[in-house]
Structure 1
């Protein structure tokens, strides 16, 4: 449920067991109010009317400029902390007044409220394009809040798509250059999150080959903790996923846990920042290292999404919500998988037509439905030091190509599969 109060200019996003709220302030800035579990015994109308206590910020007045929890934090709007967006403009859209000095490029970005709309099933950038049906394709509401720089002709739309049954919000930005010059972005996060003060116990995973998804849990100290990948993939080394909670107040099945994951597979960064007032902020999006996004006049860029939510059921509740969301809304409808046999452990690189046919007959006799030939069928692949990238059939192992093997596998009533690893290559290739 998405509700806007025109008197207080407050947006309330109500999900099954949680809420998310922000407000347009007197200066037309979009300021975060709260995110968490819905108060006990409160109805949606209580939250909408403001009769349930849910605001979580009490920033000291002297720090209001530095620590104001803007929904979109921008470089140039006085904050010295991490930002959601940092952009530069080559010129001013209007002539300078007498006495004004020209400093180029202009790097001040200030976003002020314009309007909003609620649409059905808006799509973030790089949404799944497999084209197959998903388990749950029912319509979902998306709140789109449009903001504009008061000087430059740049529009930024903050998008919030709700999946209430899983307490999940997908956050992303739409950047639109309505000016006459290129706008360059140095930092572009998909969203920034403001968490309750003290929610500084961070859970994340890392790993490497044969040691993937090693969990880590630590308490943040003042400053910034980075989870990131600078390669062009999500990588074994770090995974774009997090959970945050107050120390000692969450376990596997109990406690309030905030969680999220990036729906993006390129170079990425999640920055978790604890300020000296104990506020916790999280910024997630494109990896800013060696990053540039140039937006030509008239061009729009839609970022991928940060999928985030809050669980009342501990770390297990957080992971189950993400799993259910992915299975129902992202992946194709599950199908019965064939029984697979992979010949790697039986033969390694020592492949031959006769040996594989003998193996296929044994596999068929025990009910295998898909027979897969693994590494070693191509190029000069005799070990793992050469040949990866030479996607041609090994003539010494298969003098007539793969066709005789494929025909025999099909005659035995099985499907045929081949192992490939297109994202890697040996120097000797």
Structure 2
């Protein structure tokens, strides 16, 4: 890489974001926040990556890119040149961004630069095949506040015949050549989501993917790459990103023949093809990625800030999450007007702001064997409809929410008996049930219309502020017999497009309604679904101790502002572990607080504790949901301790949560060294729950709290504490 000074391109470094193109060298440069991203057009008209990292000086300019040398005849330069988007052709062996089969059997595709446009902070680069009228538009937009770059691609068929896309990505990210990269990613299963994994990147390919028809908990579409041995939280180069797609997806991390690392992501190519008729186009999902020089902790904080500022509904100022009560654990399917009203009174008494009725209110729903798809209010359970209950909830100064599972149907339902062809299926083959239900084929226009219409009717007829949108199984038999066989595999794309369009249409027509994405826990959490939903459900595992690791892993990719965290009963349903109510609250207060316990079993002292804790949470809610998260002590790898700190955007306040698994051999709880404070400001410390060491000063500087630290008195098993800091006015 050659860098030289080009005076005609010198621009003030004070500009926060810019896109520039040097006509002489054919180089694009995108700058925002503390990041520079540079690529250019080489002599073969391929789009070649040049630099991605810490922001460069405005005077630094790159020489014209040239194809990089290959490795003998076995790996020509097409494989070793760092390309932004490369098609399968011309002897390509690395992961392609695009693979097409034409009607004449040809599968060779070679893309070259044609033109580009720059509009504000949006760049579009147009490519075309060397002989056929196939175009690809590469789209780039960098967030001025964080330097997170959004990429996607649109494939256009301008030939006179249909073609088949067999593989397509949103683009490829290429890291500087090195041998010491480490990959972090997230894995899991039901009740065990968000496990943080790491491994060295070595020659070959690592595939993160879901073939389940939805995001899936087995892998999440997020990655982070740093240098092996670098400091975990505070320093070191980190490249990180996430795919905004809620269907089957794939991210390939490949170290090539010359030790370059390529990260390619998009819809999963397994069982995939997409027939593109003349004049049609296919837009890929957004693939987001960023860079930081300040460690994995900074990478998380940048993603959180980006999600709050650019992804979530209401961005750049999404609403704070209200304190929620959900009646599922109290009543299960046995919901009725009187019992729900009694629970609502109890929930209101502790300061709950949103009351949610879960499964069981509709159709002939007595258990999970019947009723899904029949979205009318059960006349036996609610003889006067939902209005009396909603009015009661409103009289208690709470808004009302409802559970729905729009994409599913029970075979034992009026809907399925009337429309058995509406589910995903292969003609003449068995239909595999999961949780006694099948998946409606949302790709069908009639199914899409039905789902939107029943939700719209439900919201029109009832004063509902919130929908808990559940999705309790993955796909099987992903057939679409209603269309031509060559179009059946479009189901993987069209289903998700229709899902997003329903959510978007509902939000436009009912702008006050908020939505939670839930999928039997955290099986559909990604930057695609988060653009349409206000919060997500990380896991059905609400055990407060397990949640420390679950929530820790979750926040590497996603902001605590959307992370629903419930206080449920003890002993926990999953582990039968007994934990104090204070501990359970403090674990949940690290995210968006909800309560799911059976209030009918609570004692007066439980209500008193809960009322106190809910009031405390409301005082710190904005710091937790919108502040900067610092992981001070990790709960991973069998740690006996966990400590998190959230610092307000103006750095004038902070809240810290500390957890002890079990004491041993008279060792005290580790000293807590805070981060993110203003060194010269004076902060007053206050214990919210638990005790501070007796020699803790009431007021000290930010430097004191960060350098000297804080001691908390935690002894025994499953103990927790929390304290806050606020700047003292001069």
What is the correspondence of 1:108-147 to structure 2 with a 5 Å cutoff? 108-120=108-120, 141-147=121-127
Aligned to 2:95: 82
**Match runs of 1:115-264 below 5 Å:** 115-120=115-120, 141-197=121-177, 198=179, 200-264=181-245
**Residue 175 of structure 1: how far off its partner (Å):** 1.8
1:396-415 equivalences under 5 Å are 396-415=380-399
Which of 253, 265, 268 does residue 249 from structure 2 map onto?
268
> Which range moves more in the overlay, 300-309 or 349-358?
349-358
Return closer, same or farther for 1:300/1:65 CA change in 2, 3 Å cut-off.
Answer: closer
How far did residue 149 of structure 1 move? 1.0
Cα–Cα, structure 1 residues 163 and 336, in superposed 2: closer, same or farther, change >3 Å?
closer
Q: CA deviation at 1:404?
A: 3.3
Q: Which has the higher contact order (CA 8 A, sep 6+)?
A: 1
1:106 aligns to what? 106
Residues 337 and 176 from structure 1, CA distance in 2 versus in 1: closer, same or farther, beyond 3 angstroms? Answer: same
- Give matches, 1:307-318, under 5 Å: 307-318=288-299
Give the Cα–Cα distance (whole angstroms) in 2 for the partners of residues 245 and 106 of structure 1: 40
Judge conservation of contact 2:53–2:291 (CA < 8 Å) in 1. yes
Q: 1:217 to 1:59 in 2, by over 3 A?
A: farther
Does the 8 A contact of 1:200 with 1:274 survive in 2?
no
For 1:192 and 1:4, the matched residues in 2 are separated by 20
Residue range with higher mean Cα deviation, 418-427 or 64-73: 418-427
Query: Normalised by the size of structure 1, how large is the TM-score?
Result: 0.83
Residue by residue over 1:350-401, the C-alpha shift from the partner in whole angstroms, topping out at 9 and shown as x without a partner, is 3333322222222333443322212222344444455444434344433444
Deviation at 1:303, TM superposition (A): 1.8
Q: Does the 8 Å contact 1:250/1:257 carry over to 2? A: no
1:218 aligns to what SS in structure 2? Answer: strand
Change in CA separation of 1:59 and 1:215 when aligned onto 2, cut-off 3 Å:
farther
1:101 is aligned to none
Greater mean deviation of Cα atoms: 314-323 or 353-362: 353-362
Partner residue in 1 for 2:79? 66
2:22 maps to which residue?
5
Query: Offset of 1:302 from its aligned partner?
Result: 2.3
Structure 2, unmatched stretches of 5+, are 1-17, 414-730
Change in Cα spacing, 1:256 to 1:284, as seen in structure 2 (3 Å) is same
Q: Does residue 1:31 correspond to 2:48, yes or no?
A: yes
Residue number in structure 2 paired with 1:135: none
Kept after mapping to 2: 8 A contact 1:199/1:280? no
Provide the residue aligned with 1:134 in structure 2: none
Alpha-carbon distance between aligned partners in 1 of 2:168 and 2:217, rounded to the nearest angstrom = 23
Cα displacement (A) at 1:285: 0.5
Larger helix share, 1 or 2? 2
Query: Do the aligned partners of residues 347 and 153 (structure 1) sit closer, same or farther apart at CA in structure 2, a change above 3 Å counting?
Result: same
For 2:387 and 2:19, locate their aligned partners in 1 and report how far apart those are by CA, in whole Å.
58
The Cα shift of 1:255 comes to 0.7
Q: Which moved more, 1:369-378 or 1:300-309?
A: 369-378
Structure 1 pair 145–73 and aligned structure 2 pair: CA distance change class (3 A): same
- Contact map agreement 1:187 1:288 (CA 8 A) in 2: yes
How far is the alpha carbon of 1:60 from its aligned partner? 5.4
Question: Within 2, Cα distance between the matches of 1:88 and 1:389?
Answer: 39
Cα separation, 2, equivalents of 1:302 and 1:170: 14
Query: Using a 3 Å threshold, how does the CA distance of structure 1 residues 277 and 338 change in structure 2: closer, same or farther?
Result: closer
Deviation by residue 1:214-261 (Cα, 9 ceiling, x = unmatched)? 111111332211111122321222211111122113512211011111
The partner residue of 1:303 within 284, 290, 297 is: 284
How many Å separate the matches in 1 of 2:28 and 2:386?
61
Cross-structure match for 2:324: 340
Does the aligned pair in 2 maintain the 1:14–1:44 contact within 8 Å? no
Determine if the alignment matches structure 1 residue 43 to structure 2 residue 57.
yes
Mapped pair 1:329 → 2:343: no
Deviates more, 1:12-21 or 1:154-163: 12-21
Alignment CA distance shift 1:402-1:290 (3 Å): same
Structure 1: unaligned runs, 5 residues or longer: 91-103, 121-140
1: CA distance, partners of 2:239 / 2:126: 26
Question: What's the C-alpha RMSD, in Å, of the aligned pairs?
Answer: 2.6
